[in-house]
Amino acid sequence: MLELRDVPLDSREARRAETVARVAARRAETRCLEPAVALAQAEEQADRTAETREYLDVVVDDTVVGALWLGPDGDELVVFDVVLDEPATAGALSRLLVERARSQGARMLGIGVQPGDVAQAAIAATPGFSVRATNMALTLDQSLPEAGELTLRPMTPAEYQAFTDGEVDGFAEELASAGVEREHALEQSRVMFDELLPSGQESPGMEFHVAETKGEAVGELWLSTGDTMAFVYNLVVRPEHRRRGHGAAIMTAAARRCRELGNPVLGLNVFAHNPGARALYDRLGYRVTHDYYALDLPDRG
């Protein structure tokens, strides 16, 4: 019989160190970070969430067959790390996790899956889970196409204000469409924007561009270029200019801009409810670095 048990107190520090090392290794790979930076981030995450996240043993007949690190994130119970000796136990483990999430009043059970993560993938493959969002990346040490007549120029302060006026609500709507409860989605969006843009348009590492073709504005682009992996936080093609290839041209211009700045990789997030954007990124050669799966729990409590 499979069950979950708290890690004994005398083993907790060792388990924490093992867990942090695994999380840091995944973070370094998916975000193209230096190992020391990834480890510092994972340590900070573990310290910050020490009161809410649990280190658990996965046990079968008094034999430890796996390890878990999980805890709440808003209205979700999230599996942040899992190791299983036998992935075949994932089905039984998923049922226990669902029971635990319901008992805690969670609306969803979530888990991230990086390519090659056998245990995570096995849990996400159990019935009920579906992909909600995907992180993708494009290496920039390859031949990049031209952006044609499309060019990028920095936004003026007035353009920045107009561009960001609805960003918090807009991202909250994206989160809600991915299954996050509306109130939590709005709070999560506010926190994210406060952290990303502490100084507005002048926030370090952030760039805001207007995309133009023949002098006419056709869209907007928000880039983060301060880390090793540059990141597209938002791309907008204005409604009257859609379905003319401008989205691909803006992404190409973004990739070329980041390569000029010395970023070796450009990353992005795409929600599963936006298959058109996903098809574009696939066509442009982006590879999946991380999928986020979730299972809805309408009968929680």
Q: pLDDT of 84-133, one tens digit each?
A: 999 999 999 999 999 999 999 999 999 999 999 999 999 999 999 999 99
pTM of the model: 0.92
- Token pair recorded at residue 116: 């090659």
Class for domain 2-132, per CATH? alpha beta
Task: Yes or no: say if 259 and 246 are a contact pair by the CB < 8 Å rule.
Answer: no
Class for domain 142-263, per CATH? alpha beta
- Please check whether the two domains, 2-132 and 142-263, share a CATH topology: yes
Q: Which residues, at least 6 apart from 35, have a Cβ–Cβ distance to it below 8 Å?
A: 24, 25, 28
The tens digit of pLDDT for each residue in 40-94 reads: 999 999 999 999 999 999 999 999 999 999 999 988 999 999 999 999 999 999 9
Q: Which residues, at least 6 apart from 191, have a Cβ–Cβ distance to it below 8 Å?
A: none
Residue 301 clears pLDDT 60, i.e. is over it: no
Query: Residue 142 has what pLDDT?
Result: 83
Task: Yes or no: say if 7 and 56 are a contact pair by the CB < 8 Å rule.
Answer: yes
Q: Is 118 in a helix, a strand, or coil?
A: helix
CA–CA separation, 37 and 217 (whole Å): 38
Q: Is 166 in a helix, a strand, or coil?
A: coil
Cα distances (angstroms) measured from residue 199 to each of 187, 195, 196, 206? 19, 10, 9, 10
Cα distances (angstroms) measured from residue 23 to each of 70, 141, 249, 301? 12, 27, 35, 30
The tens digit of pLDDT for each residue in 152-211 reads: 999 999 999 999 988 888 899 998 888 888 888 899 899 999 999 999 999 999 999 999
Task: Yes or no: say if 30 and 228 are a contact pair by the CB < 8 Å rule.
Answer: no
**Domain ranges (residues) in the chain:** 2-132, 142-263
CA–CA separation, 138 and 260 (whole Å): 15
